[in-house]
């Protein structure tokens, strides 16, 4: 019954979305409004909700007659992982993607009717077109409600590697990010169609871009933590094609956020902002293509499927719409202002965009090299060391541009500027020296000789300088204005401090210490300052597991006993391959990481690692998300449409804060509502 209901709901959603597209296009060509088109957006969302609920109920009731249900669960699977099976396979994850897209479209149309009514219909048509595209894939290519003729007695079960807490949230948050970037692209294109690129429209674009970027950040960080904990190799990023597929839109999304700042504040880089928003959405589709087409082998991919050419077609449509819109609205996209100096905060924003785009191009080339190289010779690939080598210059340059931008933002001169530069430089040198001489016992990249020997301390030094500048900026703004910076500005500071923390964690991987050993009960192995003792094996058989062997390890530094580690090897009933569960002792300074590699009787082989500073990667990821959330919270005044917002650009007074460059609504204000600058002491730029 649930399968029939789900198929009916998908058919209804397809008809509703297609009707919405045609009705909307007809109204746009006639330059009229269509209530039918916007109504179809909400009907599509309702139908997709019913379809997703039907598949979830089929999973929870163990309806093995549905092929998708039998392929991904069994009767012993805990309920929480039964729910996770909704996105554990090709068909279910595409249905979740479609549901999220319909939900975001419905909410975006509802909001746009209040904030940017002229752009609502063209934006709704584009979102409905994308939704209709994905519904057609679910209906005609990967039907999640296909059924057997007879009901099987038992299911096959969920992939054991997906039975983790991280996998409950990692795929959905990635989908939130991927799907979310479709909305700012549609809104921007809708504004171009309506010839209305006003403040209200850019607020909507900014909010949706920050939302999508923040959720994509959560998904990437959770995926890195899953790789660190579950795959049992001691690392967090292997430059796998599917990992890179999520990094690419994150890089261009970051560039789009910075470009949109100049577009909103100075009327600059409008074309660049539109291209970046469109490119980010296209790369989200490209990431889906890599994951689902099978053109590149990956531990994260679903395998080969006929979806390749469908996604390529959507990317081509996105490119054509982007080029056509730029050509048709070239005058509307012209910048109002130009860079006044190459040594300005605005120039640093442009530099950040250039660095991020160049890094995107390099990662894209390295990811697709196995495909491209087949066109002229044998298959070639980049290994982890090559990716690390090519990404290192971008990391250092990005940190340097970020620190310089934060320094120029303070508008310091004379002795104050010299003091800040000297203090930040000293912080960088001291931080790099402390880390290097603390963890210099080994390097993981001896093949690159002196270059990679000093690459980690260089990254740490530049990151420390950038972090010192950000902290000094917070202190200076608070002292100057006698109040803390606004929530939105503080969110930006927290995001940039999070970037610094993440680079500290990444640089720490250059000092990993590794030791492989075979021990009998009572024997010990030394790694760094720790002595790890093997106390024996325990064999258990939990309800849904065929067999689990747990190694009992204790560790001490000679002065203090820290506790136990329990790495294990798990054998699931329906999977012949053993799965390693690592033992980790986390810390701000370093992680002690233990892997049970093999055992024979009472003897066991282990791989022990000391991972310096890895905790700062997770802390930095959390700071990025919290900062983006704070920066995205709308101000009350910004939530209402003002006549000045909807007036032609030439009719509005161009009043800017001298510190942050944001628009100031009225000249009588004492403090800038964006950064808190005392305007009475600093005349407003007009």
Q: Domain map of the chain by residue range?
A: 1-158, 512-613, 647-686
- Beta bridge partners, 619, equal none
Confidence at 672, pLDDT banded by 50, 70, 90: low
pLDDT digits (tens, 9 = 90+) for 158-174: 777 777 887 888 889 99
**CA–CA separation, 624 vs 471, rounded Å?**
16
**Predicted local confidence at residue 642, as pLDDT:** 41
CA 273 to each of CA 173, 406, 546: distance values in angstroms, whole numbers, following the listed order? 24, 21, 54
Under the phi-then-psi rule, with left for phi > 0, alpha for psi from -120 to 50, and beta for the rest, what region is 668? alpha
Closest of 370, 238, 182, 225 to residue 294, by C-alpha: 370
Is the Cβ–Cβ distance between 245 and 367 less than 8 Å? yes
User: Which residue, 306, 241, 284, is CA-closest to 90?
Assistant: 306
- pLDDT, tens only, 379-438: 788 888 888 888 888 998 998 898 888 777 766 665 666 676 777 777 777 877 777 777
* SS3 category, 598: strand
Q: What percent of the chain has pLDDT over 90?
A: 38
Q: What is the mean pLDDT of the chain?
A: 83
Q: How confident is the model at residue 684 (pLDDT cuts 50, 70, 90)?
A: very low
Mean pLDDT of 297-310: 65
How far is it, in rounded angstroms, from Cα 372 to Cα 446? 29
Which two tokens mark 193? Answer: 């169609």
Region 42-64: mean pLDDT is 94
pLDDT for 636 equals 53
CB 661 within 8 A of CB 337: no
**pLDDT score for 686:** 29
**Residue 597: φ, ψ to 5°:** -85, -40
Q: pLDDT tens, 453-505?
A: 677 888 888 888 888 888 887 887 787 777 887 888 888 899 999 999 999 99
Lowest mean pLDDT among 228-237, 376-385, 427-436, 669-678: 669-678
Q: 46-60, 399-413, 601-615: which has the minimum mean pLDDT?
A: 399-413
- Cβ–Cβ contacts within 10 Å for residue 253, how many? 28
List strand residue ranges (DSSP E) for 469-529, in order.
513-519, 524-527
Max avg pLDDT among 443-457, 546-560, 609-623: 609-623
What percent of the chain stands above pLDDT 70?
86
What span, in angstroms and rounded, lies between the C-alpha atoms of 333 and 275?
A: 11
The residue assigned the tokens 């002795």 is 415
Res 361: pLDDT: 95
- The enclosing H or E element of 570 equals strand 568-571
- Helix, strand or coil, per DSSP, at residue 89: coil
pLDDT of 600 above 90: no
Q: Does residue 659 carry a pLDDT above 70? A: no
Assess whether pLDDT exceeds 90 at residue 302: no
Nearest in space to 409 (alpha carbons), one of 297, 532, 313, 496: 496
pLDDT grade for 254, boundaries at 50, 70 and 90: very high
Give the least confident one: 41-45, 341-345, 370-374.
341-345
- Residue 647: pLDDT band (50, 70, 90) is very low
Residue 345 has pLDDT above 90, yes or no: no
Distances (CA, A) of 392 to 180, 354, 381, 388, 507: 30, 16, 19, 6, 10
- Given a cut of 80, whether residue 298 has pLDDT beyond it is no
pLDDT of residue 495: 93
Q: What pTM was computed for the model?
A: 0.87
Among 27-36, 151-160, 544-553, 603-612, the range with the most confident prediction by mean pLDDT is 603-612
Determine the pLDDT at residue 459.
86
Helix/strand/coil for 603: strand
Residue 655 has a pLDDT of 53
């Amino acid at each position: 019954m649930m399968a029939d209901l789900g198929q009916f709901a998908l058919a209804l959603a397809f008809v509703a979305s297609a009707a919405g597209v045609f009705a909307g296009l007809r109204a746009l060509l006639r330059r009229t409004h269509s209530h039918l088109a916007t109504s179809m957006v909400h009907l599509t969302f309702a139908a997709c909700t019913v379809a997703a609920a039907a598949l979830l109920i089929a999973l929870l009731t163990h309806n093995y007659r549905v092929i998708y249900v039998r392929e991904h669960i069994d009767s012993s699977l805990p309920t929480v992982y039964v729910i996770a099976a909704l996105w554990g396979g090709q068909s279910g994850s595409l249905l979740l993607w479609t549901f999220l897209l319909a939900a975001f479209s419905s909410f975006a149309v509802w909001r746009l009717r209040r904030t940017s009514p002229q752009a609502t219909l063209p934006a709704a048509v584009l979102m409905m077109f994308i939704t209709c595209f994905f519904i057609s894939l679910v209906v005609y290519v990967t039907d999640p409600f296909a059924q057997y003729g007879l009901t099987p007695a038992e299911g096959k079960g969920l992939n054991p590697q997906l039975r983790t807490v991280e996998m409950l949230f990692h795929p959905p948050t990635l989908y939130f990010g991927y799907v979310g970037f479709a909305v700012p692209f549609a809104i921007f294109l809708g504004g171009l169609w309506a010839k209305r690129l006003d403040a209200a429209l850019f607020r909507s674009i900014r909010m949706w871009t920050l939302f999508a970027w923040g959720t994509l950040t959560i998904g990437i960080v959770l995926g890195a933590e899953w790789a660190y904990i579950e795959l049992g190799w001691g690392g967090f990023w292997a430059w796998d094609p599917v990992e890179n597929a999520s990094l690419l839109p994150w890089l261009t999304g970051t560039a789009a956020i910075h470009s949109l700042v100049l577009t909103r504040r100075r009327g600059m880089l409008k074309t660049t902002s539109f291209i970046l928003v469109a490119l980010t959405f296209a790369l989200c589709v490209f990431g889906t293509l890599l994951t689902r087409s099978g053109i590149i082998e990956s531990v994260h991919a679903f395998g080969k499927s006929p979806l390749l050419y469908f996604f390529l077609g959507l990317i081509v449509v996105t490119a054509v719409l982007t080029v056509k819109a730029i050509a048709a609205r070239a005058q509307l996209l012209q910048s109002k202002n130009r860079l006044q100096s190459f040594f300005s905060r605005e120039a640093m924003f442009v530099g950040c965009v250039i660095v991020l785009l160049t890094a995107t191009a390099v990662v894209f080339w390295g990811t697709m090299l196995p495909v491209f190289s087949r066109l002229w010779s044998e298959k070639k690939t980049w290994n982890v060391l090559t990716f690390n080598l090519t990404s290192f210059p971008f990391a250092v340059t990005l940190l340097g541009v970020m620190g310089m931008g934060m320094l120029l933002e303070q508008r310091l001169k004379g002795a104050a500027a010299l003091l800040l530069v000297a203090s930040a430089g000293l912080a960088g040198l001291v931080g790099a020296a402390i880390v290097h001489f603390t963890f210099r016992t080994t390097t993981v990249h001896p093949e690159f000789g002196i270059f990679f020997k000093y690459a980690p301390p260089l990254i740490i030094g530049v990151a420390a300088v950038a972090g010192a500048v950000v902290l000094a900026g917070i202190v200076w703004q608070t002292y100057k204005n006698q109040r803390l910076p606004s929530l939105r500005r503080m969110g930006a500071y927290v995001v940039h401090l999070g970037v610094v923390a993440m680079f500290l964690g990444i640089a720490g991987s250059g000092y990993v210490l590794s030791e492989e050993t075979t021990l009998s009960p009572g024997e010990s192995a030394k790694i760094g300052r720790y002595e790890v003792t093997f106390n024996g094996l325990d064999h258990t058989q939990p309800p849904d597991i065929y067999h689990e062997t747990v190694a009992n390890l204790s560790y001490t530094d000679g002065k203090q006993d820290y506790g136990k580690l329990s790495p294990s090897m798990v054998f699931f009933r329906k999977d012949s391959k053993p799965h390693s569960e690592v033992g980790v002792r986390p810390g701000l300074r370093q992680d002690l990481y233990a892997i049970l590699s093999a055992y024979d009787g009472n003897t066991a082989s282990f791989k022990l690692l000391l991972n310096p500073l890895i905790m700062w990667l997770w802390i930095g990821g959390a700071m990025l998300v919290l900062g983006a959330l704070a920066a995205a919270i709308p101000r009350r005044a910004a939530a209402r449409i003002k006549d000045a917002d909807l007036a032609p650009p030439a009719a509005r007074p161009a009043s800017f804060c001298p510190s942050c460059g944001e628009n100031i609504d009225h000249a009588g204000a004492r403090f800038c509502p964006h950064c808190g600058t005392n305007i009475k002491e600093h005349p407003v730029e007009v």
